[in-house]
Structure 1
Amino acid sequence: MSKSHEGSPQPLTAVKSKPLSGLVHLPGDKSISHRAMIFGLLSVGETHVTGLLEGDDVLRTAEACRALGAKIDRIGEGEWRIHGVGIGGLRSPEAVLDFGNAGTGSRLMMGVVGGHPIEATFDGDAS
């Protein structure tokens, strides 16, 4: 086994650097992406979302929002337009809301649906 440090500790000195500048694009966040879809559903009018993480979980939440009455369009990579129905405007879905493996989306949506006078059946996979 080798030692990572030989001898006595040496102090480190921080030197002031030039200010950072530039533009950074970060990947979308799954948890926030679910919420963005749901907030769009509950909003009146148009919601424009950029940086959406387009994984299967979030797309399942988007499908559930459509089934509950929202009009949702993908207008570019990570860029979506949601025409919401407003609080109280949800409609009963014609089919089961299948969230697959989207536990976050299903739990959040159960809270939304529970506050509306509609009926909905939720489903997901065994995981």
Structure 2
Amino acid sequence: MSSEQKKNYIVQPGGRLQGELRVPGDKSISHRSIMLGSLAEGVTEVSGFLEGDDALATLAAFRAMGVNIEGPIDGRVTIHGVGINGLKQPENVLEMGNSGTSIRLLSGLLSGQSFNTILSGDSSLSKRPMGRVTDPLARMGAVIGSNEGKPPLQIQGGNQLYA
């Protein structure tokens, strides 16, 4: 179509649109809802939980630390929070799969707990540098061992952290 040939389009408004729309869950919010609900005291109801592998790794980690979590069923999760000092030392390594969000957020959260923890992941996650999280945590007083700055991360509990 040459620049001299022009077409005009006329758009007419349509009728009213009615109905309901459910927006899919958000990965970042799903991680944080599990973490905050677990650290809260009492029951937290979450709807719109994104049931992807990453958020499920976070959910499994908190179950391994003694948090009773019901679901997920159709994006709904019920978390029976244990309070900030109610987490228990997991019996095994906490496997994060390929979730960088899980391992990074849990590194900070677990650095302030009273027990030791190991965070690991799949072969892809084990190649990813964690210094942007572990270095600032170390400056705050955390003791975190690693494989040349990469997972698995050995988090030593019982340290006083300073902001």
Match of 1:63 among 40, 50, 60: 60
Bigger shift: residues 72-81 or 89-98: 72-81
1:98 aligns with 2:95: yes
The normalised TM-score by structure 1 is 0.83
Q: Which runs of 5+ in 2 are unaligned?
A: 125-163
Match for 1:73: what amino acid?
E
Q: Is the 1:90–1:118 Cα contact (8 Å) retained in structure 2?
A: no
Match of 2:114 among 84, 106, 117: 117
Check 1:92–1:8 CA distance in 2 against 1; reply closer, same or farther (3 A cut): same
Q: Give, in angstroms, the shift of residue 42 of structure 1.
A: 0.6
Q: Give, in angstroms, the shift of residue 7 of structure 1.
A: 3.7
Match of 2:104 among 86, 91, 107: 107
Match of 2:31 in 1: 34
The normalised TM-score by structure 2 is 0.66
Q: Give, in angstroms, the shift of residue 22 of structure 1.
A: 4.0
CA–CA separation in structure 2 for the residues paired with 1:9 and 1:112: 61
Matches within 5 A, 1:11-22: 22=19
CA–CA separation in structure 1 for the residues paired with 2:13 and 2:31: 41
SS in 2 for 1:121: strand
1:50 aligns with 2:58: no
Match of 1:77 in 2: 74
| Number of aligned positions between the proteins | 124
| Deviation per residue, 1:52-81 (Å, 9 max, x gap) | 110111111101011112101116300010
Q: Is the 1:69–1:84 Cα contact (8 Å) retained in structure 2?
A: no
Larger strand fraction of residues: 2
Match for 2:91: what amino acid?
E
**Which structure is richer in relative contact order (CA contacts within 8 A, separation 6 or more)?**
1
Q: Which runs of 5+ in 1 are unaligned?
A: none
